[in-house]
Amino acid sequence: MSKIPKFNKLPNKADLDQLQKPLFSRLDKDIPASIVVFLVALPLCLGIALASGAPLLSGLISGIIGGIVIGSISGSAVSVSGPAASLTAVVLAAIGSLGNFEVFLMAVVLGGIFQFLLGIFKAGFIADYMPSNIIKGLLAAIGIILIIAQVPYALGIAPGVENYYDPSLPGGEQFTSFFTAFLNSVTAGSVVISVISLAILIFWDKTPLKNFQLLPPALIVVLLGVFLNLFFEHVVPFLHLNTAQLVNIPAIDHFSTLFTYPDFSSITNPQVWGVAITITLIASIASLLALEAADELDPHKRKSPPNRELVAQGIGNTLAGLIGGIPITTVIVRSSVNIKTGAETKLSAILHGFLLLASVLFLSSILNLIPLSSLAAILLVIGYNLASWDVIKTMYKKGWNQFIPFIVTIVAIIATDLLIGIFIGTLISIFFILKSNYHNAFFIENTRIFKGETIRLELANEVSFFNKASIKNTLWNVPEGSNVIIDATFSSFIDQDVLDIFDDFKETYAKEHNINLSIIGVKENYEVGKELNFVKEDIQQSKKQSTPAEILDYFKEGNERYTAGKLISRRLRNKELMDFINAPPLAAVVNCIDMREPLNVLMNTGIGDIIPIRTAGNLAGKDVLTSLEIACKEQGARFILFMGNSDNKIYIEALKNFGKGQATYISPLIADAVKALKISTEEVARRDLNEIADEITKWNLGRSMELVITESEYFRKKIEEGSKGMASAFFNRSTGKIEFSKLYSPSENALG
C-alpha cells in the first residue's frame, strides 16, 4: 500500500508562483497560439486606433507594448493586453477636447503612473469582489458583440446600416432598397472563404484531422484563406478579394517615424489630469475584469495576481504615452483566442508582441495578403463559444438570482458599452445579494417548548448592517407574550447597528409586549455600550412550566425539522455548554446501545434538553427505573421517552441464535417478546429478521412503559396527576423519521 502524503502547511505565494509553467516549457503550444493571436490582434489594433480618432500606428504601438512589456511583467499565463476597446469613446472625446494627440499622450503617461501606484498600494483586491455571473455575462456579451461585428467581414460587405439605407424612399420601398443593396454588396469570395473556414473550425475535432497537431486549426484557416485568394486571382477572378477585404498595414519608411512624443508642457493643464484619472479608473477596472474572465477560461484555472497586473498595465501605459500609443488594457478577445488556441505560458503573449513589431517593420506586404474573412471566421467561432446556448442554460439552472444579473449584464453591455453595462449588471447583482442577506442573517426556529410561543434566532457567522432590515422586521413582528432567544454564539462579527437593534428591542418592544427576551453568546470584543445578558432565571422558570404534552410536541416538531434538513448549529464551547445545562432538562430518553445516532440532533433539541439513558435492548430493568427517578426527582425532567430503532443488530443476533435453537447471554432481551408475539423458529427461518426485530423492539417499548407504572409508585402517581409524562418512539434509520406514540395513560393498555 502506498503511503498517504502529508501536508504540513498550506502553500504560500512563493509556492503558488512555482505552479506556473516555465516560460519555454511548452513551445509546441505557445508558438502556434502566438501566431494566431498576432493575426487576430493585428486588425484589432488598427480598428481600435481608427475608432479612437488616433493615428493607426498608435494602435500597433500599443499592441506591441501590450505583448512584449506587459506580457513580460504580468503574472497571468494566458491573458493578452493591447489597445483598449473600452476606452475608444473616451480617447476620441479626449483628443477632441485637448486639442491634439500629443497633449492626449501626456494624459496617458499620467494615467499609467496612477495605475502603477494602484498596483503598488494593492488596489487589485476589487477584482475578487466581482460576482461570477457578471464575469460570465461580460464574456457572453463580448461573444455576441464579436459575432455582430464580424458578420460584415465574413460576408465581405461594408459594415454599417447607413451604407444600405436610403431615408428618402417611401416606407415600403425602404426595406426593398435596403435588402437589395445588402445583397449586392456581399462578396462571393469572402463568403466562400468564410464558409470553408467555419467548416474547418467547427468540424476539426469531429474528424481524423484532430490528430494533426503540427498547426492549430485557426492558423490553418488563415493560411488557407491566403492560398484560396491567390487561387481565385488566377483561376476564378470574380471571387478574388480586393484590398478593402484584406488586412491593411501602413508602410513604415523610417524607424523614427514610428514614434510620437507627449507634450510635457501640458502637465499643468487640469483637463489633462481629469482625462488621466478617467483613463486610470476605466483601464484598471476593465483590465481586472478581463483578467478575471481570462482566469475563468483558463483550463488550468490558474489565479493571476491582480496587483501585479495593475503594475504591469501602469508600466505599459506609461511607456505607451511616452512613444505614441493609445491606452492599453487586458483584452478578453485576444486572451480568449490565446486560450482557445492552446497557449500554456505567457510566452505566447510576448511572442505575439514581437510578431506585431516584426510585421510593422518588415512584413507588411506579406500580412496584407490575409483575408479579413478568415480572421472573421475565427472570431465568429470564439464569439459563439463565449455566448453559446450551453452557457445560457447553465446560468439559468443556477437560479434567477444568478441568471437575471447575467442577462442584464449582456443586454446592458451590448446596448451601452463595456463599463456601463458591467456597472448596471453589478447593481442588479448587488440587489440580489442584499435580498439574499435579508433572509440569511439568521436561522429562525419556532417551537413550543415553553408556555406561549418560543422563537430562537441563531445569527450567522457575520452579521453586518446589510442585515439590519431583516432582523428588525422579524423582531418587531414577534407575537405578544412569546419567549425569544437571540443566539449569537456562532457569530464572529456583529455590526454595532445590529447590537443597537437588540438593545432597542429589549428596552422597548419586548417590555411593552410582555416578551421574555434572552440573548446569548454576545462577545465583548465587538460589544459596545450596554451589556445584553442571557436571562437564565426566566428560561429555567419557563421550562419548569412546560407540560408533558408540549414536550412531546416539541420532540415531534424537532424530528420534522431534522428530516427537512433545518438544523441548528451545535458548535459550542465550554462556557456556552454550561449555560445550557444549568437550565432544567425536559426529558429522560431510554434507548438501546445499538442506537448510536445523537438524540439531540434527531429531535433537533437544545443542548441539555435530554438526559440519555443507554441500555442493552429496550426493556426497563431495575437500574433503568432508578436512573429515571433520579432524572425526574433530582434533575427536574418532566418527561420519559422510550426510544427504539429499526434494524436493531442486537435483536437480529439474538434471533439468529433462537432460530438455531441456541441460548446465549443476549437471549433474555427478546424472550418475553418472542413468547408474547408467538414467534417460532420456522418463522425466523422464512421471514426477514429486520422485520421481526422491529416488531420485538416495539413490543419491548410498550412493555417498558408498563413496567414504569407497575414497578414505580412515584411515576404512577406523577403520570396519573399529569405532572410527568411518558411515551414511546420508534426511529426509522432509512428515513430518519421518528414515530411517536401518544402520551401514556395508565387507564389504557400500552400494548394495545
For the annotated binding site for Zn(2+), the residues are 592, 594
Residues in a beta bridge with 80: 331
C-alpha cell at 599: 438524540
Alpha carbon distance 645, 318 (integer Å): 74
The DSSP secondary structure of 476-501, one letter per residue, reads TTPPTT-EEEEE-TT-SEE-HHHHHH
Residue partners of 607: CB distance under 8 A and separation at least 6: 570, 572, 576, 577, 580, 581, 600
C-alpha cell at 260: 510620437
Contact predicate 105/324, CB 8 Å? yes
The DSSP element (H or E) to which 413 belongs, if any, is: helix 400-415
- The one-letter code for the residue type at 117 is L
Alpha carbon distance 610, 457 (integer Å): 21
Measured in Å, how far apart are the chain's first and last C-alpha atoms? 58
Binding residues: 592, 594
Give the closest residue to 249 by CA, choosing from 374, 365, 373. Answer: 365
Q: What angle do CA 410, 412, 416 make, to 5 degrees?
A: 125
Alpha carbon distance 310, 299 (integer Å): 23
Q: How far is CA 370 from CA 37, 223, 226, 664, in A?
A: 14, 8, 5, 92
Alpha carbon distance 432, 475 (integer Å): 23
Neighbour count for residue 251 (Cβ, 10 Å): 9
Alpha carbon distance 552, 742 (integer Å): 9
The DSSP secondary structure of 660-686, one letter per residue, reads TT---TTTHHHHHHHHHHT--HHHHHH
Alpha carbon distance 501, 705 (integer Å): 49
- The one-letter code for the residue type at 337 is V
For 58-94, b where at least 16 C-beta lie within 10 A, e where not — what string?
bbbbbbbbbbbbbbbbbbbbbbbbbbbbbbbebbeeb
The DSSP element (H or E) to which 324 belongs, if any, is: none
Residue partners of 638: CB distance under 8 A and separation at least 6: 546, 547, 548, 551, 586, 587, 632, 723, 724, 725
User: Phi, psi (5° rounding) for residue 271?
Assistant: -65, -35
Residue at grid coordinates 486572451: 335
Exposed (0-12), middle (13-18) or buried (19+): which is 20, by Cβ within 10 Å?
middle
Give the closest residue to 726 by CA, choosing from 638, 659, 665. Answer: 638
Residue partners of 736: CB distance under 8 A and separation at least 6: 559, 562, 563, 602
Contact predicate 346/166, CB 8 Å? no
